[in-house]
Amino acid sequence: MEKVYSIRQLFPGLEEGLYEEMEQHGEIRQVPAGAVLLRKGQTIRSTMLILEGIVKLYQEDDQGNEFFMYDIEPGQACAVSMLCAFRQETSQVMARALTDVTMLTIPLQYMDEWLSKYKSWHYFVIRTWRERYDELLNTINEIAFKNMDERLEFYIEGQVKKLGRHVKLTHQEIANDLNTSREVVSRLMKKMEKNGWILIHRNSFEWIRP
């Protein structure tokens, strides 16, 4: 049986007419964990509103190295796809599904139309840009002003909050997100395990700290 998603609950505060148009013109897509949703240089013709699951955004250099920027969770939209769609630009980032993801895609033509037609959509777009900007500032703050021990603790606590106490991430995936080496992550996580904060499993860890 197909699961029913309530955009009214996930995206509260919009006009009833806008909800009806989102349901009429939007397309629900389901993608598996690990799927790439956006690629650097890709032409964007629609924006993504997340209904279920988590999407991770990365900056990617010319050599293919990835730098984690922030997550997009249920009830949030992809600010990058909004901005690129409005300005008719190609994506400068890569987005990948961390978990199985269900999303509502909105074609560019309706995004433009809704900006002038629905005040709540205008505010939603501005709020989305602001929230993603704040998250990016937090990421920069972590890199610039905290050591790797603090950054790893902040990162792990964030993943536990989003994914639950048992997190399926390898040390290499964590290292990629933190722009460091797997050896450094493994050493620091073993220290956290010794302190009674986590239990390390194969390709995952469990948060046990009270």
- Final residue before a domain boundary, out of 102, 123, 144: 144
Is there a single domain that holds both residue 16 and residue 67? yes
| Confidence tier at 2 by pLDDT (50, 70, 90) | very low
- Final residue before a domain boundary, out of 144, 164, 198: 144
We report the CATH number of the domain holding residue 163 as: 1.10.10.10
Asked whether the predicted pLDDT for residue 87 surpasses 70, the reply is no
Is there a single domain that holds both residue 158 and residue 83? no
Asked whether the predicted pLDDT for residue 159 surpasses 50, the reply is yes
Asked whether the beta carbons of 153 and 192 are under 8 A apart, the reply is yes
Asked whether the predicted pLDDT for residue 1 surpasses 80, the reply is no
Is there a single domain that holds both residue 52 and residue 108? yes
Asked whether the beta carbons of 179 and 68 are under 8 A apart, the reply is yes
The widest CA-to-CA distance across the chain, in whole angstroms, is 57
What is the average per-residue pLDDT within 76-87?
A: 79
Q: What is the mean pLDDT of the chain?
A: 88
pLDDT digits (tens, 9 = 90+) for 19-56: 999 999 999 999 999 999 988 888 888 889 999 999 99
Asked whether the beta carbons of 33 and 99 are under 8 A apart, the reply is yes
Is there a single domain that holds both residue 202 and residue 104? no
In a domain, 69, yes or no: yes
Asked whether the beta carbons of 207 and 165 are under 8 A apart, the reply is yes
In a domain, 1, yes or no: no
| Confidence tier at 120 by pLDDT (50, 70, 90) | very high
Distance, in Å, from the CA atom of 156 to the CA atom of 174, rounded to the nearest integer, reads: 9
Is there a single domain that holds both residue 92 and residue 115? yes
Domain count, the chain: 2
Asked whether the predicted pLDDT for residue 176 surpasses 80, the reply is yes
Is there a single domain that holds both residue 66 and residue 137? yes
- CA terminus-to-terminus distance, the chain: 38
Rg (CA), the chain: 18
- Final residue before a domain boundary, out of 105, 123, 144: 144
We report the CATH number of the domain holding residue 16 as: 2.60.120.10
Distance, in Å, from the CA atom of 77 to the CA atom of 103, rounded to the nearest integer, reads: 9
Is there a single domain that holds both residue 111 and residue 57? yes
Three state DSSP letters for the chain:
CCCCCCHHHHCCCCCHHHHHHHHHHCEEEEECCCCEEECCCCECCEEEEEEECCEEEEEECCCCCEEEEEEECCCCECHHHHHHHHHCCECCEEEEECCCEEEEEEEHHHHHHHHHHCHHHHHHHHHHHHHHHHHHHHHHHHHHHCCHHHHHHHHHHHHHHHHCCEECCCHHHHHHHHCCCHHHHHHHHHHHHHCCCEEEECCEEEECCC
- Which residue range(s) make up the domain with 85? 7-144
Distance, in Å, from the CA atom of 187 to the CA atom of 190, rounded to the nearest integer, reads: 5
In a domain, 193, yes or no: yes
Asked whether the beta carbons of 89 and 42 are under 8 A apart, the reply is no
